[in-house]
Amino acid sequence: MKPIQVGLLGIGTVGSGTFKVLRRNQEEIRRRAGREIRISMVADLDTARARSIVGTQAEVVSDARAVIANPDIDIVIELIGGYGIARALVLEAIAAGKHVVTANKALLAVHGSEIFAAASAKGVIVAFEAAVAGGIPIIKALREGLTANRIEWVAGIINGTTNFILSEMRAKGLDFGVVLKQAQALGYAEADPTFDIEGVDAAHKATIMSAIAFGIPVQFDKAHVEGITALQAADIRYAEQLGYRIKLLGITKRRDDLKGAAGGIELRVHPTLVPTQRLIANVEGAMNAVVVHGDAVGTTLYYGKGAGSEPTASAVVADLVDITRLHTADPDHRVPHLAFQPGSMADTPILPIAQVVTAFYLRLVVADKAGVLARITGILAENDISIDAVLQRESAEGEKQTDLIILTHDTVEGRMNTALAQMQALPTVLAPIVRIRKEELS
């Protein structure tokens, strides 16, 4: 049988890994796909570097559009990244009748609805397993393995850079800035780590998972995004004392009407207290993990390397195999891109953060005097916020202030915002209140 011909756009870290994995495991992949998969054309601006990787096994060009225009190319792999030229090239490949494989989570989170609609109209496949959690097959799990389930929620450590930083802060008691420099020196963080440490990268991935899990359009612009730059070592330490660890989580939940809040979909990324006995709380270093709760299967965990050349290449090649198997199938009977057809999307709204329901960790620096705790707990009670636990640091001799730690039960975020404003206005509250959300994930 004639090999499937693949054109590769961009042969950087993931692209070179994809080429090497395909070549190394060629026979195994051929058996699983039913025919040979061959990267026969590579486009990269650095043609000399590209030729040093592929040798004589593929044609190397500097113009990505030459790959798309080649009538012999069946599948185009887009590994350029970003929102700009990548979007244009993907849409051009679709228009030319090419299937597309991409690892570009930013592109899909922002322009996914447009891209998937174009692919559906043209009868081609856009596969993107590598766009979320690297080598962990979470897209396939959500789209196929858990298809019998009504997904209730998904929560994941989906950015290795931030997880490495938080792991080091907890293990060594260091502040964020110190550990960030270490992460950059070790290659875990980019010279400009903004997308990672501010939660944007995780929000791109959470947006994609939310669309698959709940059958809604990708809506990155409606995600609530917070990073880890404001986290302090003191809060990581207090969380540990209370039986929790702090992780940057991407969370998306189906929410029915409750506690005075409207129903809809929660889509948020932020630092989160997680009980230490949960498996995801013990995911350390640069590893990724995603927890999915379905009504039939219960809670499932997916763990592995979320980035890197060959882990991500593993997902790219898996997509190539899937497309190869489906290449001759009637377009109407292929696995849909998001587990549903573009015309069958749900119109369930993404909830604004003020309508999210969650529990909270609060740290207040307060004057060490009588009546302070009673006034603060009174404000919480007035706003119908129930307290789960209280921890007060014992003041040193002569010290006139102390740290007061409060864990709450679930409440509507808008209600908590009102209470925080009232507490912050008290003359006995001496510093900005630290607020971190808490999830039991059970």
Residue-level pLDDT at 339:
67
Active site residue 205: yes
Which pLDDT value is given to residue 307? 87
CA distances from 89 to 11, 83, 248 (A): 15, 11, 33
C-alpha span between 319 and 105 (Å, rounded)? 15
- For Cα atoms 217, 209, 76, give the angle at the middle one, nearest 5 degrees: 80
pTM for this prediction: 0.94
Residues 6+ apart with CB under 8 A from 186: none
Return phi, psi of residue 238, to 5°.
Answer: -65, -40
For the stretch 99-149, pLDDT in tens is 999 999 999 999 999 999 999 899 899 999 999 999 999 999 999 999 999
CA–CA distance, 198 with 134 (Å, rounded to integer): 19
Tokens 């796909």 identify what position? 33
Q: Boundaries of CATH 3.30.360.10 in the chain? A: 146-305
Residue 260 pLDDT greater than 70, yes or no: no
CATH class of 4-138+309-344: alpha beta
Instruction: Assign 396 a pLDDT band (cuts: 50, 70, 90).
Output: confident
DSSP 8-state symbol, 394 = P
Retrieve residue 241's tokens.
């004392």
Q: What is the pLDDT of residues 277-293, one digit of tens each?
A: 999 999 999 999 999 99
**Cβ neighbours of residue 59 under 8 Å, at least 6 residues apart?**
40, 41, 42
Q: Each residue of 292-337: pLDDT tens digit? A: 999 999 999 999 998 889 999 999 999 999 999 887 666 665 656 6
Predicted confidence band of residue 436 (pLDDT cuts 50, 70, 90):
very high
* Average pLDDT across the chain, whole number: 93
Q: What percent of the residues of the chain are helix, what percent strand, and what percent coil, each to the nearest 5?
A: 40, 25, 35
CB atoms within 10 A of CB 27: 9
pLDDT value of residue 222:
97
171-195 pLDDT per residue, tens:
999 999 999 999 999 888 999 999 9
List, in sequence order, every residue forming a beta bridge with 236; answer none if it has no partner: none
Q: Are 18 and 316 a contacting pair, CB within 8 Å?
A: yes
The per-residue pLDDT for 27 is 95
Q: Take residue 91 and report the two structure tokens written for it.
A: 């849409």
Residue written as tokens 């991407």?
Answer: 250
- CATH, domain 356-438, list 3.30.930.10, 3.10.20.600, 3.40.50.300, 3.30.70.260: 3.30.70.260
Could you give the dihedral angle defined by the CA atoms of residues 320, 121, 67 and 143, in that order, rounded to the nearest 10 degrees? -20
| 94-98-101-107 Cα dihedral, nearest 10 degrees | -20
Encoding tokens for residue 29? Answer: 């992949």
pLDDT, one tens digit per residue, over 234-258 is 999 999 999 999 999 999 999 886 5
Instruction: For CATH 3.40.50.720, list the domain ranges present in the chain.
Output: 4-138+309-344
Which is nearest to 413 in space by CA: 359, 336, 345, 338?
Answer: 359
pLDDT of residue 131: 95
161 contacts 186 by C-beta, under 8 angstroms: no
Structure tokens at 46: 């650095």
CATH class of the 146-305 domain in this structure: alpha beta
- Please tell me which residue in 105, 205, 247, 438 is annotated as part of the active site: 205
Q: How far, in Å, CA of 412 to CA of 180, rounded?
A: 33
The DSSP annotation for 102-161 comes to E--HHHHHHHHHHHHHHHHHHT--EE-GGGSSTTS-HHHIIIIITTTS-EEEEEEE--HH
